[in-house]
């Protein structure tokens, strides 16, 4: 994208794809591009958009634009290289894995991404590495093919056929690539770990590359990667062997995906560390393009888990500044409904149908409670989180003021649960 690019936002009427967190608009004049519009709505537990946080769309787009700008910067990767050398100098094997090959390219040219820039709300001009005078919730990106696996059934077993991916090009790899710097109380890997016997736990830790037992709110010796499916009705945890099969590439290709995911996570972690926030995990999506791997899709508080340490009545808590705060809200304040979503997912695994079909049928028949409305007071606390981060990203607030405000907002969230008589439940999830 050489000379100035302008997108006429007034021509974007009906989205070509309507997702739970963003709308996609395909461009007739340039079929290789599309416009992504971040929405203020949010989805948890795969139930679709069930809440909305004012201002979150603008802030999340700003985070996305900032991180993609950093990913494309060779200077930023030079900083990450020095950080990695210092952090893992005692682990020579892991250091060699991260530094060989891909990182050398990143230090020279920056990362390949689908991000072309943020679109100015007024003029429509696309800004690649800086923020436009009138920030918006619109970004311009390269478009990649989405190939959905086909489903087959045999003896009431429901299988997914990924053979179309082999030999394909310019497609999004059908994996959610989850990088974990540590483990939280809400991590799916921790829940899976708790359900295992002793021998199974040992094998699971070995596959993840962990040498220590899994304990909530502890940091791993180094980041790890695990995988779930991307285009099946519900996210399905995958072994490394399964991830290799459905990735559509060879073994070295999967290792490169793992390396790329970890390196990107370290970059994002350093960005949030400067803001006084700790990154626990994030999800990457990666595309294949003529033999290259490309960072794609959203990267914001919808796909990352960052926390701030806050003391309340002499008790330390890790307050979520991401979508996990909404998950916790439903678990604590609407526990019966949350249990209904789990029941519907279990039924879906047996039937092969969408879990939403089971959930909605149960609600219609009175077996499951209706989807609850979020308390406006709690929404206001989440809105304050986004506003605080946006003020800093746009250069309207100092770092010290931003960190101070994080603590105030964290106090407000903990006080909300205390006032509603549910502080013990909150403590079980986020107390340390």
CATH topology classification for 9-72+111-142: Phosphorylase Kinase; domain 1 (3.30.200)
Q: What is residue 1's predicted lDDT score, i.e. its pLDDT?
A: 62
Nearest to 57 by CA among 374, 407, 300, 243: 300
What gap in Å lies between CA 324 and CA 318, rounded to an integer? 11
Q: What is residue 2's predicted lDDT score, i.e. its pLDDT?
A: 62
- Cβ(152)–Cβ(138) under 8 Å? no
Q: Which CATH number fits domain 146-302: 3.40.630.30, 3.30.465.10, 3.30.470.20, 3.40.50.300?
A: 3.30.470.20
Q: Which residues of the chain have pLDDT under 50?
A: none
Q: Where are the domains of the chain?
A: 9-72+111-142, 146-302
The dihedral region occupied by 124, where left means phi > 0, alpha psi between -120 and 50, and beta the remainder, is: left
- Cβ(293)–Cβ(305) under 8 Å? no
What gap in Å lies between CA 131 and CA 119, rounded to an integer? 9
Q: What is the DSSP string of 207-271?
A: HHT--S---TTEEEEEEEEEEEESSSSS--EE-HHHHHHHTSS-HHHHHHHHHHHHHHHHHHHHH
At 318, give phi and psi (nearest 5°).
-110, 105
Strands 138-142 and 292-296: unpaired
Q: What is residue 368's predicted lDDT score, i.e. its pLDDT?
A: 94
- Cβ(153)–Cβ(159) under 8 Å? yes
Cα 260 from chain centre: 15
390-399 confidence digits (pLDDT tens) = 999 998 999 9
Name the pTM for this structure: 0.92
Q: What is the DSSP string of 21-70?
A: SEEEEE-SS-TTEEEEEE-SEEE-TTS-EEEE-TTHHHHHHHHHHHHHHH
Q: What is residue 226's predicted lDDT score, i.e. its pLDDT?
A: 94
**Token pair of 423, please?**
């502080």
């Amino acid at each position: 994208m050489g000379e100035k690019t302008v997108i006429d936002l007034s021509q974007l009427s009906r989205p070509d794809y309507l997702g739970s967190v963003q709308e996609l608009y395909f461009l007739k004049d340039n079929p290789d591009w599309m416009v992504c519009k971040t929405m203020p709505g949010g989805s948890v537990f795969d139930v679709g958009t069930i809440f909305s946080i004012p201002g979150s769309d603008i802030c999340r787009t700003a985070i996305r634009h900032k991180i993609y700008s950093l990913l494309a910067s060779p200077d930023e990767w030079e900083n990450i290289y020095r950080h990695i050398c210092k952090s893992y100098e005692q682990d020579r094997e892991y250091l060699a894995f991260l530094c060989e090959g891909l990182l050398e390219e990143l230090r020279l040219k920056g990362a390949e991404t689908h991000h072309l820039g943020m679109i100015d709300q007024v003029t429509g001009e696309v800004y690649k590495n800086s923020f436009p005078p009138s920030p918006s919730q619109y970004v311009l990106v390269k478009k990649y093919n989405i190939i959905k696996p086909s489903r087959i059934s045999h003896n009431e077993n429901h299988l997914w056929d990924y053979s179309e991916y082999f030999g394909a090009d310019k497609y999004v790899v059908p994996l959610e690539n989850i990088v974990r710097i540590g483990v939280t109380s809400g991590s799916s890997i921790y829940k899976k770990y708790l359900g295992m016997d002793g021998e199974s736990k040992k094998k699971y830790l070995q596959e993840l590359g962990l040498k220590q037992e899994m304990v909530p709110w502890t940091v791993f010796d180094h980041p790890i990667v695990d995988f779930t499916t991307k285009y099946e009705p519900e996210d399905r945890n995958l072994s490394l062997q399964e991830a290799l099969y459905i990735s559509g590439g060879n073994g070295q290709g999967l290792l490169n995906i793992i390396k790329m995911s970890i390196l990107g996570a370290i970059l994002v972690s350093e960005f949030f560390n400067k803001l006084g926030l700790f990154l626990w995990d994030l999800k990457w999506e990666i595309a294949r393009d003529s033999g290259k791997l490309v960072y794609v899709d959203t990267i914001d508080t919808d796909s990352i888990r960052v926390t701030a340490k806050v003391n309340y009545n002499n008790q330390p808590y890790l307050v979520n500044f991401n979508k996990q705060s909404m998950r916790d809200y439903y678990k604590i304040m609407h526990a019966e409904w949350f249990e209904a979503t789990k029941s519907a997912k279990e039924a879906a695994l047996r039937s092969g149908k969408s879990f939403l079909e089971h959930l909605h049928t149960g609600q219609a028949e009175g077996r499951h409670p209706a989807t609850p409305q979020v308390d406006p007071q709690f929404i206001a606390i989440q809105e304050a989180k986004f506003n605080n981060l946006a003020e800093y990203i746009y250069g309207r607030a100092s770092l010290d003021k931003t960190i101070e405000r994080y603590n105030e907002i964290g106090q407000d969230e903990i006080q909300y649960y205390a006032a509603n008589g549910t502080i013990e439940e909150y403590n079980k999830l986020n107390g340390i």
